[in-house]
């Protein structure tokens, strides 16, 4: 079985990873800031579902095959990069469209329409889950991280799948807790975030970050 010391070390490592600002943080903050709290929790659950899948695959040795196969890794890497660039570009194009509409109408009162969030029907748990899960599962670096980290904490001869899922559940629990803090933070700023200019700024910053993550994934060695 896993010792308490090993469990504590693993918790510290994945805890620091969870607190490090990155793609997940940007996506959760942006979704929650638009007032789509239900969809934001869908994004959170999708991301953590992806984490559970990577943990299970690593415990079964599947992700080791991914990192060993150059072709499989490259296919997943380019698919993930294309998805991130597409998602970020839609946010940026949306702000340009809103700016053009305001210039034509001569008014800045209209709130921006976020891509993929148009109307109340878009504020769904399932829609957010799909976005979060795709973002996580199309990032092969998450799999590579688990291949490098998880086996170090599973004792030789121990059942890999249950212990791997136990460790992964620690990561998921920390991710859920931190996501709750992020969503609560956006609620504190909801009056400012409701302003059209604030939402446009948020989309520009988040879109640029997501496109940057996609390009970095595409250009990474």
CA 200 to chain centre: 20
| Tally of CB atoms within 10 A around 147 | 20
Q: What is the pLDDT along the chain (221 residues), one digit of tens a residue?
A: 778 888 999 999 999 989 988 889 989 998 998 888 899 999 999 999 999 999 999 988 887 777 778 887 788 888 888 988 988 898 888 777 766 665 555 544 444 444 444 333 378 899 999 999 999 999 888 888 888 888 888 887 888 889 999 999 999 999 999 999 999 998 888 777 677 777 788 788 888 888 888 888 888 76
User: Which of these, 24, 30, 29, 25, lies nearest to 47 by C-alpha position?
Assistant: 24
Predicted pLDDT of residue 101: 61
Q: Residue 43: is it exposed, middle or buried by C-beta count within 10 angstroms (0-12/13-18/19+)?
A: buried
- Tokens for 107, please give them: 């008014």
| Tally of CB atoms within 10 A around 38 | 14
CA dihedral sign, ordered 16, 18, 23, 25 = negative
Provide the 8-state DSSP code for 112: P
Report residue 51: phi and psi, to 5°.
Answer: -60, -45
Predicted pLDDT of residue 221: 64
């Amino acid at each position: 079985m896993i010792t308490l010391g090993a469990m504590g070390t693993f918790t510290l490592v994945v805890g620091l990873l969870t607190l490090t600002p990155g793609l997940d943080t940007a996506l959760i903050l942006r979704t929650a800031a638009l007032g789509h709290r239900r969809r934001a929790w869908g994004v959170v659950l999708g991301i953590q579902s992806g984490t559970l899948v990577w943990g299970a695959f690593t415990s079964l040795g599947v992700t080791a095959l991914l990192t060993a196969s150059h072709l499989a890794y490259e296919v997943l890497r380019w698919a993930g990069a294309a998805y991130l660039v597409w998602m970020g570009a839609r946010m940026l194009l949306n702000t340009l469209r809103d700016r053009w509409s305001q210039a034509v109408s001569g008014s800045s009162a209209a709130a921006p329409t976020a891509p993929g969030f148009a109307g109340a029907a878009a504020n769904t748990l399932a829609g957010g889950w799909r976005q979060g899960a795709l973002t996580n599962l199309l990032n092969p670096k998450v799999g590579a991280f688990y291949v490098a980290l998880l086996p170090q904490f599973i004792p030789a001869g121990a059942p890999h799948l249950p212990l791997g899922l136990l460790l992964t559940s620690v990561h998921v629990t920390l991710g859920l807790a931190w996501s709750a803090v992020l969503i609560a933070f956006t609620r504190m700023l909801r009056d400012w975030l409701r302003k059209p200019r604030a939402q446009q700024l948020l989309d520009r910053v988040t879109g640029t970050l997501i496109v940057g993550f996609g390009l970095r994934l595409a250009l990474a060695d």
